Amino acid sequence: MTLIPEWELRAAHARLEQEKAARATSVTPVPVGILPVVAATVEPEEIVYAAMRRKGQRELCIDCGHERGDHHMRPEGHYLDGKWLYYCVTAHCTARFWKNQQSNECHCLDFRAALTEVPEFTRPAVDDWTLCAACSHPRLRHCTRRKVTKALSYSDWKGLEIHGQPVPCSHTLPDVKPYACDSSACAQVIGEGDDEHYCDCKKFISPFLKKRSPAKKPATPRATRAELARRAAIVIELVTENSALTVAELAEASERSPAWVRSTLKKAGIVLGGE
């Protein structure tokens, strides 16, 4: 009886285990001692980016891989040695990364979350000193519409505040009763003496709002065959009664275009006297 060498037994056992794994994963078995070469699978970029996608400030930029919070999504002041240089106007990246044993700046010029996004200039955010587009008074001089869910009290102030101090406005009630501002009206005092009054602006309008595109006119619904036949009968009847009518007059009467009137008359074999 010939004994099987230990190395051959181990090799046979390894082949058996490899064949089991191959059947489970539908991968062609390879000889023992040779590492299998796995072909890389390339997924579409959109799928990869969708897998990387996060929401909010942690959303990743597809150009540099850094988070949205690392980009200047609003114009911000840039300084050098404590001196102001400029305001940035693109959502550039401010993150730093370690490479070649040193800290490097990211050179991404604009945040993009998808390949279809087109870079745009950033728009400033409204702050206390932003001037109203309607009255040119700063935002801090305008009220803020408050939501009232419980009884008003002095401890839970719902009126206008400037730098933490209550300021009277057009919503102020007599006898210093607790009140809540229900609009963003301007509280800037204008005039002197008997002419003193609050600004007439009833709503703060941001100067950074985008202009709305003009509303598109609704498309005229296409006339049905029955409707076209009815209008064609009107045209033919009018021509029969008065052959002196022009194409323009027939088009106005039938509420159709002159080309449609000519086509209708041609199909009916009618020729106008003026044509």
Q: What is the pLDDT of residues 49-87, one digit of tens each?
A: 544 557 788 888 988 989 999 999 888 888 888 887 888
pLDDT, one tens digit per residue, over 22-37 is 665 544 444 434 334 3
pLDDT of residue 93: 93
The span from the first CA to the last CA of the chain, in angstroms, equals 117
How far from chain centre, in Å, is Cα 106?
Answer: 26
* 216: β partners: none
pLDDT of residue 45: 52
Structural domains of the chain, ranges and CATH numbers in brackets: 46-105 (no CATH), 126-208 (no CATH), 225-268 (1.10.10)
Strands 83-87 and 189-190: unpaired
Could you give the residue ranges of the DSSP H alpha helices within the chain? Answer: 6-25, 45-52, 225-241, 247-254, 258-268
pLDDT of residue 133: 93
pLDDT, one tens digit per residue, over 187-241 is 999 988 888 999 999 999 998 887 777 777 777 778 888 888 888 888 888 888 8
Dihedral, CA atoms, 52, 56, 61, 67, nearest 10 degrees? -100
12: pLDDT confidence band, cut at 50, 70 and 90?
low
pLDDT of residue 187: 93
pLDDT of residue 141: 94
The whole-angstrom separation of Cα 124 and Cα 141 is: 19
SS3 assignment, position 104? strand
> Whose CA is closest to 135, among 186, 211, 195?
186
CA atoms within a 13 Å half-sphere pointing along the CA-CB vector of 26: 0
Quickly tell me which residue has 């050179």 as its tokens: 107
Q: Is this structure's pTM higher than 0.85?
A: no
Q: Which residues contact 206 (CB under 8 A, 6 or more apart)?
A: 126, 130, 133
Structure tokens at 222: 């296409």
CB 54 within 8 A of CB 77: no
Cα four-point dihedral sign 213, 214, 217, 218: positive
The whole-angstrom separation of Cα 245 and Cα 262 is: 12
The whole-angstrom separation of Cα 114 and Cα 258 is: 49
Dihedral, CA atoms, 160, 166, 169, 175, nearest 10 degrees? 130
Burial of 139 (0-12, 13-18, 19+ CB in 10 A): middle
SS3 assignment, position 46? helix
Whole-Å CA distances, 76 to 59, 64, 112, 125, 148: 20, 20, 19, 10, 35
Question: Rounded mean pLDDT of 168-173?
Answer: 88
